[in-house]
């Protein structure tokens, strides 16, 4: 029995790694945190609100990535728990939709503050930690299939995720000299709290019943259904592992065949 337990431990791909997952209190972020822990990592999730968060073996810190003070405080709190960071997942993100003629400055500023500036400056803060540690690291940014194409009602969101893909490429080239790989995941439509919010926005914008947009979208996925957080997490585990050591500046689609990169 002891030998079998040891074999499982030896097979963990992230054994001994210290990981910070932003936007990790729910949805895709929580799925990634669970997968990292199952693979042997110590994990801290960060979110705007972690009140009531309870996940065995996963610590949580409050972190608002739309403000530099929030990023600095969140990274410092994670360091206090982990005593270092080897893996960062930039998962925090927000969504909104509107026709071009109805896009507001408030919505634009909010989406770019979280999805782009939040990604960049969290990546910067953690990269500084990784450089000081001197042992390299893994940074994984969450883009979207929306970053590879335009959408009639999602212009600003699409633009933010296109920016994430571009930032990933530039940061990958800039940081690989320090042994830090930067890559991204572009999920398609994933069953999550976020997509429940998206569905509600489309219901209001297009006069649909709640759930109808999700049914329409699922029918259009070549795989025939929405993806799961666990399926995105599987890609994150790969990118965080030693198996991805030679992968730099890439964006991987996890979208059931929706977009051919």
Question: pLDDT tens digits for 29-62?
Answer: 999 999 999 999 999 999 999 999 999 999 999 9
Q: Residue 200: is it exposed, middle or buried by C-beta count within 10 angstroms (0-12/13-18/19+)? A: middle
Mean per-residue pLDDT, 171-179: 98
Residue with tokens 């398609």: 188
pLDDT of residue 212: 94
User: What domains are defined for the chain?
Assistant: 18-254 (3.40.50.720)
What three-state secondary structure class fits 141?
strand
pLDDT of residue 10: 53
Angstrom distance (rounded) from CA 242 to CA 244: 5
Residue with tokens 């198996």: 243
pLDDT at residue 3 is higher than 70 = no
Question: pLDDT tens digits for 131-154?
Answer: 999 999 999 999 999 999 999 999
Question: pLDDT tens digits for 233-244?
Answer: 999 999 999 999
Query: Quick one: CA dihedral 82, 86, 87, 90, positive or negative?
Result: positive
Q: Residue 50, CB half-sphere, CA atoms under 13 Å: how many?
A: 21
* Nearest residue to 90 via CA among 65, 59, 113: 65
Q: How confident is the model at residue 164 (pLDDT cuts 50, 70, 90)?
A: very high
pLDDT at residue 1 is higher than 60 = no
Residue with tokens 């030998």: 3
Average pLDDT of the chain, as a whole number: 94
Question: pLDDT tens digits for 76-89?
Answer: 999 999 999 999 99
pLDDT at residue 7 is higher than 60 = no
Tokens linked to 201: 């926005």
First to last CA, the chain: 46
Mean per-residue pLDDT, 246-250: 98
pLDDT of residue 193: 84
Mean per-residue pLDDT, 13-21: 98
Which residues are known catalytic residues? 157
Q: How confident is the model at residue 6 (pLDDT cuts 50, 70, 90)?
A: very low
pLDDT of residue 194: 85
Mean per-residue pLDDT, 196-223: 92
Tokens linked to 52: 């009531």
Q: pTM for this structure?
A: 0.93
Q: How confident is the model at residue 261 (pLDDT cuts 50, 70, 90)?
A: confident
**What is the gyration radius of the CA atoms in the chain, in angstroms?**
18
Q: How confident is the model at residue 217 (pLDDT cuts 50, 70, 90)?
A: very high
pLDDT over 70 for what percent of the chain? 96
How are beta strands 180-187 and 251-254 bridged, if at all? parallel
Angstrom distance (rounded) from CA 233 to CA 86: 17
pLDDT of residue 2: 39
Mean per-residue pLDDT, 111-120: 98
Mean per-residue pLDDT, 160-171: 98
């Amino acid at each position: 029995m002891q030998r079998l337990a040891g074999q499982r431990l030896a097979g963990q791909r992230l054994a001994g790694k210290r990981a910070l997952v932003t936007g990790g209190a729910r949805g895709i972020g929580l799925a990634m945190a669970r997968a990292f822990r199952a693979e042997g990592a110590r994990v801290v999730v960060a979110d705007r609100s972690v009140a009531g968060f309870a996940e065995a073996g996963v610590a949580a810190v409050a972190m608002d990535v739309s403000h530099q003070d929030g990023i600095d405080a969140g990274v410092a709190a994670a360091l206090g728990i982990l005593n270092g960071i080897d893996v960062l997942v930039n998962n925090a993100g927000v969504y909104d939709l509107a026709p071009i003629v109805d896009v507001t400055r408030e919505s634009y500023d909010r989406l770019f503050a979280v999805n782009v500036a939040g990604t960049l400056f969290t990546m910067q803060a953690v990269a500084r930690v990784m450089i000081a540690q001197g042992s390299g690291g893994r940074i994984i940014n969450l883009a979207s299939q929306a970053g590879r194409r335009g959408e009639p009602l999602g212009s600003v969101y699409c633009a933010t995720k296109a920016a994430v893909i571009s930032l990933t490429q530039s940061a990958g080239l800039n940081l690989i000299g320090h042994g830090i790989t930067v890559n991204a995941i572009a999920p398609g439509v994933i069953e999550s709290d976020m997509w429940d919010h998206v569905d509600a926005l489309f219901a209001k914008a297009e006069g649909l019943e709640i759930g109808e947009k999700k049914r329409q979208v699922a029918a259009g996925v070549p795989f025939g259904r929405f993806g799961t957080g666990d399926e995105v997490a599987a890609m994150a585990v790969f990118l965080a592992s030693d198996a991805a050591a030679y992968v730099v500046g890439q964006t991987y689609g996890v979208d059931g065949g929706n977009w051919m990169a």
